[in-house]
Amino acid sequence: MTVRVLPAAGRVAVPWKNGGGVTREIVARPEGADMGDFEWRVSLADVGSDGPFSAFADVDRILTMVEGEGMDLTVGGERRRFATRFVPQRFPGDLPTGCRLLGGPVVNLNVMWHRGAAATPTVTVAAPRQSLALPAGPAVLIVTLDGAAEAAGVTLGRYDALLLTNERTTLHATAHTAVITLHPAA
């Protein structure tokens, strides 16, 4: 059982694989994995202009808009609208994806994983003033999105994260808070 705090302060902005924006990695597995060899990865991405998303072979994504007015994505020729904050949406990361911003820059919570990896994620967003019992799974990541939250005796500020391994606890969210649960592959 481990509890690891991953503070927002000090995260380094790294250019996207295609150079069209920046990302701040929260955590990836295996540790130290780069953009080509991760099993799963969670980051916050700043999208400042229209343009293509980076393509990742054999990767699926769950994107949750946390700041901004939204964007229209064209994923493999199909239009997908992301205009509501805090609503996770899943799409293939290896299909050509174009982005048109609806009213200025956005920030997205981005969860990516390789198909066939040892674990696959789900993303839920706790509402303000909500408490959730969290299972003692192999990995549960909590990311505060627009305020504060508390879990496992740790208080988190905006964009701070907490990685729990085999730790059963309760999340007390005072603001929108993402819970990313990694489930062992079937």
Q: Which of 59, 92, 101, 95 is nearest to 77 (CA)?
A: 95
pLDDT tens for each residue of 20-69: 789 999 999 988 887 778 999 999 999 999 999 988 999 999 999 999 99
The phi-psi region of residue 13 (left if phi > 0; otherwise alpha if psi is between -120 and 50; otherwise beta) is: beta
Alpha-carbon distance of 113 to 42, in angstroms, equals 9
Q: Which helix (H) or strand (E) holds 24?
A: strand 22-29
For 41, counting Cβ atoms within 10 Å of its Cβ (0-12 exposed, 13-18 middle, 19+ buried), the class is buried
Give the domains, in start order, of the chain with CATH numbers.
Answer: 10-114 (2.60.120.10), 119-184 (2.60.120.1030)
Quote the pLDDT of residue 186: 63
Residue type, 88: P
pTM listed for this prediction: 0.94
